[in-house]
Amino acid sequence: MSAIPGYTYGVTETRSPLTPADLEHLKQAVLFGPDDERYLRLAGEVLADHIEEILDVWYGFVGAHSHLLYYFTDGHGNPNADYLAAVRRRFGQWILDTCMRPYDQDWLNYQHEIGLRHHHSKKNRTDGVTSVPLVHHRYLVAFIYPITATIKPFLARKGHSPEEVEKMHQAWFKAVVLQVALWSAPYVHAGEF
């Protein structure tokens, strides 16, 4: 996935409020270690061939729930197909970034950018749309489960052992929790994050 509109990984001017040391502490808090990094890379190799199918599952879930689809509407219940399509391309890249990118300063900065794009600070600006002003924080947290539960069948598609699939799934779960924690920064009062 190249030349994705609004995808500013590594070039965003956004700076995370956390340092690399803070990130290491957060990784420790979710028990994310070197084995998880290795299994995430393996997961990325598996998932890369199934991005569109995964997005179909996730978008089907969002589309089946008007209270979730609401965040892609004009605020009056009318979904914006162009907005959904633009976000979908970045969401697909997010799967690959979650698995394949080093969790370094660029990654940390881009996680903060993603958080801002869900918050009223930057929501709608990337795609120049008129939509609701923010994604309520409760849905960032709640979405951890469907994004984690629905990925496991895809991880089993390349013949890895059940143990390897479980390790990939646990690494994915930890990575998603880690990212949602980082995306939460704009929603937290200054000095409390």
Report the number of secondary-structure helices (H) and strands (E) in the chain: 10, 0
CATH number at residue 111: 1.10.490.10
Band the pLDDT of 2: cuts 50, 70, 90: low
Instruction: Kindly tell me if the per-residue pLDDT of 121 is higher than 70.
Output: yes
Q: Please tell me the total count of domains within the chain.
A: 1
Is 162 within a domain? yes
What is the average per-residue pLDDT within 1-21? 90
Is 192 within a domain? no
Residue-number span of the structural domain to which 52 is assigned? 20-187
* pTM of structure: 0.96
DSSP 53-92: HHHHHHHHHHHT-HHHHGGGB-SSS-B-HHHHHHHHHHHH
Percentage, residues of the chain above pLDDT 90:
95
